[in-house]
Structure 1
Amino acid sequence: MKIVEKNKGFELYLQKKCLMKHTIDKCAIYVGYGEERMAMYRGNFKVEDYVIERTPLKYYHIHNNHITFRRYEGDSCGALTLSLIEKDNRLSIYFIECEAPINRIWIRLHADKEEKVYGCGEQMSYFNLRGRHFPLWTSEPGVGRDKSTYVTWLADTRDKAGGDYYTTNYPEPTFISTKKYWCHVETTAYADFNFQYDDFHELQVWDIPKSIIFETGKTYLELTEKFTDYAGRLPKLPNWTRDGVILGVQGGTDQVSTYLDQALESGIKVSGLWCQDWEGINITSFGKRLRWNWEWDPKRYPGLDKFIITLKEKGIRVMGYINPYVVNDGGLYAYAKEKGYLATRPNGDIYDVDFGEFYCGIVDFTYPDAFEWYKDVIKKNLIDLGLGGWMADFGEYLPIDCCLKNGVPAMLMHNAWPALWAKCNYEAIEESGKIGEVFYFMRAGGHGLQRYCTALWAGDQSVDWSLHDGLASVLPAALSSGILGNPYHHSDIGGYTSLHGNIRTKELFQRWTEMAVFTSLMRTHEGNRPEQNFQYYDDDETIKHLAKMTAIHVALKPYIDDLMDEAVTKGLPLQRPLFMHYERDKKVYDIQYAYLFGKDILVAPVYEPNITEWSVYLPEDDWIHFWTGSDYKGGDHVIDAPIGFPPVFYRKKSQYAQLFKMVANHNRF
């Protein structure tokens, strides 16, 4: 670390990289006071802010790695004091003193015009964040997520749920810069990271953060490795997840048995059955919902306990569903209410949240007794039943006006809630001795997920081709979350949300399947309106297509296993931006709809309908087209891409080249 004073200001460096510049005319710190207005409707937030005061802290004094900023020259009271501590080439800037009544802070970091920025959690519209600002608040991402589209307009006007380019289940106040550093703001408050300016990034936080942390690296691989040294890493997914597709089917024991028999007879490689309705169903106008009282429903699934054992002996697991809320007419709610385990309103009443024609209580994870009780629910009702895993859904809905046992305002706990929910699931598995055998997948997130979320899924995409909410949106989602240490990303094959005329087609399902082959795991979903949307089991051609694609995924298991070893030891994601391995190629820094699967496979999914050819950019290397065995050099290419043959290439010099060649030989054009 080095602080250089000049021109009545200073510059802050770490490993010769300028992080901050401050002068009287261009201040690095602004403080102020604001009053926000927030309204939540079923997990969607309308946020307005009225800034009452915003003051630049022009004057400063540096003493022994402390910087005290003042509003006025000669002011005896320090408005804000920072302590700078460098250890092992990691710089932590602590906010140790703040004397004014401040609830807003704006921190400006030095930027270069050509610099690019990535991260901020799971961003589904843009991978390179430069040129836009990103509010960081966990919420429903919305339907459509593009204000120019008719679907988003309908979702806004009818459901208050249209979303925008920045709305996400998983925000995180962390980014990686092409100046080769990562930056993390240690806060759970509402934040807005603004990357629109040529010469600075402005990080706004609605609280005084505990610290800002920086670390540099020589490569992007090293940066991710260093960040996950700080944030934490995950164990490998269970071995069985790489033995085929996890079929998302439901309807009861007999029905899912029929689906499984059909799949196996058709040659589909099946690793699991995901039966989200194991605890019963609840029909609403949105579609088929679930009974949020997390106990096995023996009427819908008779003999489920024995069914689980029988399938496990065949190498197939049964998975379920749970979330951190309990329906208000269920037994778990009654018990939690009696024990005081639910979040309350200021008057002491239970805070029941509207989830769309039914209401639920919020298990208060800040209350240790409630946290332990819910862990026990997971252990007894899911793990002891024999489930191989589950969707750990939601986590975004904590209302900002509820009261929690720890006394911390819900405004500050809201972004912390998903990581608490992930920790509850992780500890339940860990304490049951099932790490590496049982796993769960989540959509809600925040900082801390890197240590506690065994797998991430992209949430509730629309069953369409839209860039911001359809098939294409899961690509920047995987890249942005992966670069921040979430290595195991996947999505609902075919999407989930069918509203306002969006109906899943056969083509969409097949294209989504082709992409899912080259992700950490494959899992289908029937969607919120199964009867109205295309399902793989209704079509012989699609069954054959799914059989082919699952066979490819299983054949790649040795390669995927090695990638997961890298995730465990280095925190590297399975789906990687091209610049992670081709840093000198300037063109790859803005590519967000193609990715490297590990180091050696390049995937450019087809995300538009009625396509037989696809444009692909290859970085400079020797490449082999997966389906023809033809040689390609770097550059722009137009590739034949009929259904069943997505644009996929592997490195000719890969140590896995023989494996890829063997897999490809069984799947030629």
Structure 2
Amino acid sequence: MKFTDGYWQMRPGVSILQPKDIDGFERDGDDLVVHAPTSPITSRGATLNRSSLTIRLSSPIENVIGVSIAHHLGSADQGPVFELADENPSVRIETPGSGDAVFASGALEARIGAEGPWRLDFVADGRVITSSDARSVGAIQTPEGAYVREQLAMGVGETIYGLGERFGTFAKNGQSVDIWNEDGGTASEQAYKNVPFYLSDAGYGLFVDHPGAVSFEIGSEAVSRAQFSVPGQELTYYVVYGATPKDILERYTALTGRPAEVPAWTYGLWLSTSFTTNYDEATVMSFIDGMAEREIPLSVFHFDCFWMRAFHWSDFVWDPAMFPDPQGMLARIKAKGLRVSAWINPYIAQRSHLFEEGRKLGYLVRRADGSVWQWDMWQAGMALVDFTNPDAVRWFQDKLRALLGDGVDAFKTDFGERVPTDVVWHDGSDPKRMHNYYTQLYNKAVFELLESERGEGEAVLFARSATAGGQHFPVHWGGDCESTFVSMAESLRGGLSLGMSGFGYWSHDIGGFEGTPDPAVFKRWVAFGLLSSHSRLHGSDSYRVPWAFDDEAVDVTRQFTRLKMSLMPYLARAAREATLRGTPIMRAMALEFPGDRAVSGLGTQYMLGESILVAPVFSAEGDVDVYLPEGQWTQLLTGETVTGGSWRREKHGFDSLPIYVREGSVVPFGAETGGPEYAWADGVTVKLYALPDGYDQTIEVPGGTGAATEFRVRRQGSEISVTAGAGAGSWNVDTGGTAHTHSGPGTLTVALADGGSSSGSD
């Protein structure tokens, strides 16, 4: 929200209170409280009829400093609230007689001038990373109500990322962003996954601790400042320090939650019925058998909305006309080695038998007069499950538990954005604060059911909506996109933006959702989709089986599915980073190469894990521009080596795209390509890419269905040695096109000078 009329004036009807003086510091336990009158205090009489802002500094975890700015502190304490970590770190507080007051957590310091006007500097590594000055803080009154605003300084060349899954320009500079979940598709400024967190390449992240509406003006009101505001009398934000962007995400996800581990089978190819298409068991089986006949590995089959009867969503009852024997059908699908996903949502149509049941039990969201909230958008007379009621959560989970008993393995948790604000929640939550937070309760209820029934590490969603903390309940997909190259590109920007917001996994509808892609769009999107963390073929009113397009589409789907399956040892290692550090599998270039100014704002390519660069092709002709940072890069598909540090214009057929491996990389390739579930270390090929002299690293190849194995890789001059640890089976080393084989624990030595002669020892 914008409050000013240019630099000097407020907009008509808007007034602002700002800190003009400092009237003392108080230590309250491990917090520092600052009293900041909104007029200079020149005498005792000047303390009368004056406003004062109360500013509290705290630290929930090391290297994170919270700032709460309050005008009046007597507001009702209504939920919901984000679940944040509180590790009670050691802090350093200095309250001077003169000079600056200091509040420090780890390597991050907040310095406040002891005398007015207001000045707050955040300092790390001996430099000010951002600051708030006398024009930044404001308690604002508008015709619409009260707001609290803060502005943090932006430096020359500073770039801002994140704020959830946003589909516009990847760098958020110059944008106005409202944190308010909407079902707006990928072609609008609205977003399904709004996260009040941004990451700055100046060395910090910024999280606004408010689950409702938050308005950001990123250099779009005051061009030198990142502004954020919330309605009401109080604003709390956290500055998150990290030496690198990855460190910032590690700290932020330590505060709000890390992505959970997902099962191996989810990395395989998912195939959907699509949305409004006609399908029954015969159709489903023809798709599954068609993939097998064409030797395209398939891992998951997804049933979209019309597995239930029209006008009955959601009642979780299979349409008997289309699926007279659902349990038998699921058993037949699973006998072919597949998992099953089923579409659900939290909306209960009036015609659903669950509507009357939920109404009588009080499990549906109500209006102030006690009536059930209903409308006719999406489903006739639909209501909304009240997940603030623990009994309603158990009731909803019990309905899904029956489907798990039938053989369903995962749920696509669709919707969760169209949440009304003129309602009363069971737990008394503020309906405006609940609008964005509802999706957190919805996805949590489903994820925790799967975890309790399937075990830790075996739960997975395919979720559309989210807010801060939603990264703990993966996977999320990009929502409704058009079947065009433009929409393919906007989907990628959305996924990279979500990754900069703490989410580790992301997917999208291969081929696009709205409309039917032409064969060129489908084939280009297939390559991109199978080089994403999770891969699903899904559409709206047309099928996405590759043979519906042309024979080449079948070949391309087979090729890239098999490539992804061979990368399972590598992807599993990247997934571990997501779980342990909050680093996404699909990484914006700015996340992996923070010192390279050429990648600032670059949203047309990405790193898949730390080593593999992917540049999707957004044209039928195959022309693509790709930027390679400095160093030697190897084309993964051809073995060609090129020198980076510049842009390249390339042309690719449908069976290719720019996939480059950076120098100094060790990439494990699995021996199987028929699916994601196999013993990843058994028969693994350890490929070495331009390792520097003196390289000495130990990498672990995760086990999959077998045992994990450690490989120590060393280079001394022209000789490379790879040593496999205990429990190793058969393994290979590839230094550039020639594989050398070893079996069991031991060392394999390759002499590079003579073209790769090798010897082995136990």
Shorter-chain TM-score bucket reads: 0.7 to 0.9
In the other structure, the counterpart of 2:475 is 455
In the other structure, the counterpart of 1:69 is 36
Q: CA deviation at 1:534?
A: 8.8
Letter in 1 for 2:537: T
For the pair 1:528 / 2:528, whether they are aligned, the reply is no
Letter in 1 for 2:626: V
In the other structure, the counterpart of 1:90 is 64
Letter in 2 for 1:175: Y
Q: What pairs with 1:574-593 in structure 2 (closer than 5 Å)? A: 574-593=585-604
In the other structure, the counterpart of 1:404 is 425
- Asked if 2 retains the 8 angstrom alpha-carbon contact of 1:58 and 1:71, the reply is yes
Look up the SS of the partner of 1:254 in the other structure: helix
Q: Quote the Cα distance in structure 1 between the aligned partners of 2:163 and 2:545.
A: 34
Q: CA deviation at 1:631?
A: 0.7
- Asked if 2 retains the 8 angstrom alpha-carbon contact of 1:280 and 1:300, the reply is no
In the other structure, the counterpart of 1:125 is 168
In the other structure, the counterpart of 2:635 is 625
- Asked if 2 retains the 8 angstrom alpha-carbon contact of 1:247 and 1:270, the reply is no
For the pair 1:203 / 2:228, whether they are aligned, the reply is yes
Q: CA deviation at 1:360?
A: 1.0
- Asked if 2 retains the 8 angstrom alpha-carbon contact of 1:626 and 1:664, the reply is no
In the other structure, the counterpart of 2:571 is 560
For the pair 1:540 / 2:565, whether they are aligned, the reply is no
Letter in 2 for 1:66: V
* Distance 1:118-1:460 versus aligned 2 partners, 3 A rule: same
Look up the SS of the partner of 2:600 in the other structure: helix
> Which of 493, 505, 529 in structure 1 is aligned with 2:510?
493
- The TM-score normalised by the length of structure 2 is 0.72
Q: Quote the Cα distance in structure 1 between the aligned partners of 2:146 and 2:440.
A: 24
> Which of 384, 391, 409 in structure 1 is aligned with 2:412?
391
- 136-145 or 571-580: which moved more? 136-145
Letter in 2 for 1:371: V
- 628-637 or 307-316: which moved more? 307-316
- Asked if 2 retains the 8 angstrom alpha-carbon contact of 1:238 and 1:439, the reply is yes
Q: What pairs with 1:329-344 in structure 2 (closer than 5 Å)? A: 329-344=351-366
1:97-140 Cα offsets, whole Å, 9 max, x none, are: 61598631111112213211111111111221111121111001
In the other structure, the counterpart of 1:549 is 560
> Which of 172, 175, 179 in structure 1 is aligned with 2:195?
172
* Distance 1:582-1:122 versus aligned 2 partners, 3 A rule: same
Q: What pairs with 1:327-476 in structure 2 (closer than 5 Å)? A: 327-356=349-378, 358-380=380-402, 382-451=403-472, 453-466=473-486, 470-476=487-493
- 392-401 or 302-311: which moved more? 302-311
In the other structure, the counterpart of 1:262 is 290
- 483-492 or 201-210: which moved more? 201-210
Q: CA deviation at 1:428?
A: 1.1
Letter in 2 for 1:520: S
Letter in 2 for 1:180: G
Q: CA deviation at 1:234?
A: 2.5
* Distance 1:665-1:359 versus aligned 2 partners, 3 A rule: farther
- Asked if 2 retains the 8 angstrom alpha-carbon contact of 1:375 and 1:427, the reply is no
Letter in 2 for 1:88: E
Q: CA deviation at 1:222?
A: 1.1
Q: CA deviation at 1:88?
A: 2.3
> Which of 157, 173, 189 in structure 1 is aligned with 2:212?
189
Higher share of residues assigned helix: 1
Unpaired stretches in structure 2, ≥5 consecutive residues: 1-6, 27-31, 41-45, 74-138, 669-684, 689-733, 739-762
Q: CA deviation at 1:649?
A: 0.9
- Asked if 2 retains the 8 angstrom alpha-carbon contact of 1:364 and 1:404, the reply is yes
> Which of 227, 241, 244 in structure 2 is aligned with 1:219?
244
* Distance 1:134-1:605 versus aligned 2 partners, 3 A rule: same
- Asked if 2 retains the 8 angstrom alpha-carbon contact of 1:94 and 1:212, the reply is yes
In the other structure, the counterpart of 1:511 is 524
- Asked if 1 retains the 8 angstrom alpha-carbon contact of 2:21 and 2:38, the reply is yes
Q: CA deviation at 1:322?
A: 0.6
- Could you say which structure has the greater relative contact order, defined with CA pairs below 8 angstroms and 6 or more residues apart? 1
- The TM-score normalised by the length of structure 1 is 0.82
In the other structure, the counterpart of 1:19 is none
- Asked if 1 retains the 8 angstrom alpha-carbon contact of 2:259 and 2:471, the reply is yes
Identity %: 24
Q: CA deviation at 1:483?
A: 2.0
Look up the SS of the partner of 1:624 in the other structure: strand
Look up the SS of the partner of 1:176 in the other structure: strand
- Asked if 1 retains the 8 angstrom alpha-carbon contact of 2:313 and 2:347, the reply is no
Q: Quote the Cα distance in structure 1 between the aligned partners of 2:638 and 2:246.
A: 31
Letter in 2 for 1:63: F
Look up the SS of the partner of 1:460 in the other structure: coil
Q: What CA RMSD, in Å, does the superposition of the two structures yield over aligned residues? A: 2.8
Letter in 2 for 1:253: E
Look up the SS of the partner of 2:299 in the other structure: strand
- 654-663 or 298-307: which moved more? 654-663
- Asked if 2 retains the 8 angstrom alpha-carbon contact of 1:463 and 1:496, the reply is yes
1:248-298 Cα offsets, whole Å, 9 max, x none, are: 457122210011101101011000111114632439xxxxxx842222334
Larger Rg: 2
1:139-161 Cα offsets, whole Å, 9 max, x none, are: 0124732xxxxxxxxxxxxxxxx
Unpaired stretches in structure 1, ≥5 consecutive residues: 1-25, 35-49, 146-165, 284-289
Look up the SS of the partner of 2:436 in the other structure: coil
Letter in 1 for 2:211: T
Q: Quote the Cα distance in structure 2 between the aligned partners of 1:390 and 1:484.
A: 23
Q: Quote the Cα distance in structure 1 between the aligned partners of 2:609 and 2:414.
A: 28
- Asked if 2 retains the 8 angstrom alpha-carbon contact of 1:627 and 1:664, the reply is no
Q: Quote the Cα distance in structure 1 between the aligned partners of 2:301 and 2:489.
A: 26
State how many pairs are aligned.
585
